[in-house]
Amino acid sequence: MKIQSYLTFLQEGKISDSYIRNVIHEALQFVDVEIKKNDLKDNLHLYKDLGMDHLDVVEMMIQIETIFWIEITDREIKRMKTIGDIVRFIKSHNLTTEDLAKKEKGYKEYERSQPQFDMGEVVDSLLNKRGITKNSLFKLFQKKKKGLKIFRRK
């Protein structure tokens, strides 16, 4: 799912039902549930009508948590069976566009304050601490590779 800032599409004040449905629609697409936005009705059942399993629902809720900056517990996820349940749950948080803007701004500042790592340097450091050189690791890999049938040429 393209997690993007929807704030540019919203006006000041409460978050609208259509905005919530747009987010739900994108979260459904993230878990490969194909449905048109216009077909998202309140009584649409996640499991029966959309064919989702529990893992799909959890992944979708994680996307919703990310967009709305809310926490959804496992108990709450189990209670949400329809699109309407999700919409009502999000609306129960009384979020405003200002709330979302503040949280997103705070996260961006936090993210900028975190140290940046070069994964190559991290791996080199871990190998060096254990006395392993890249060359010895490569040789070990080559030995293991010879024993695996999937790597053998026919």
Cα–Cα dist 24/37, whole Å:
9
**What is the DSSP-derived secondary structure letter of residue 14?**
B
**What is the DSSP-derived secondary structure letter of residue 45?**
B
- Sign of dihedral through CA atoms 85, 89, 91, 96? negative
Per-residue model confidence (pLDDT) at position 128: 74
Per-residue model confidence (pLDDT) at position 142: 67
Cα–Cα dist 106/150, whole Å:
49
Q: Specify whether the CB–CB gap between 63 and 1 falls below 8 A.
A: yes
Per-residue model confidence (pLDDT) at position 9: 46
Domain 7-113: state its class: mainly alpha
Q: Mean pLDDT per segment of 10 residues, for the chain of length 154 residues?
A: 44 77 93 92 95 93 90 93 96 84 76 72 72 70 55 44
Catalytic annotation present for 17: no
pTM for this entry: 0.63
Domain coordinates in residue numbering, the chain = 7-113, 119-151
Per-residue model confidence (pLDDT) at position 153: 45
Q: Of the residues 17, 39, 42, 53, which is catalytic?
A: 53
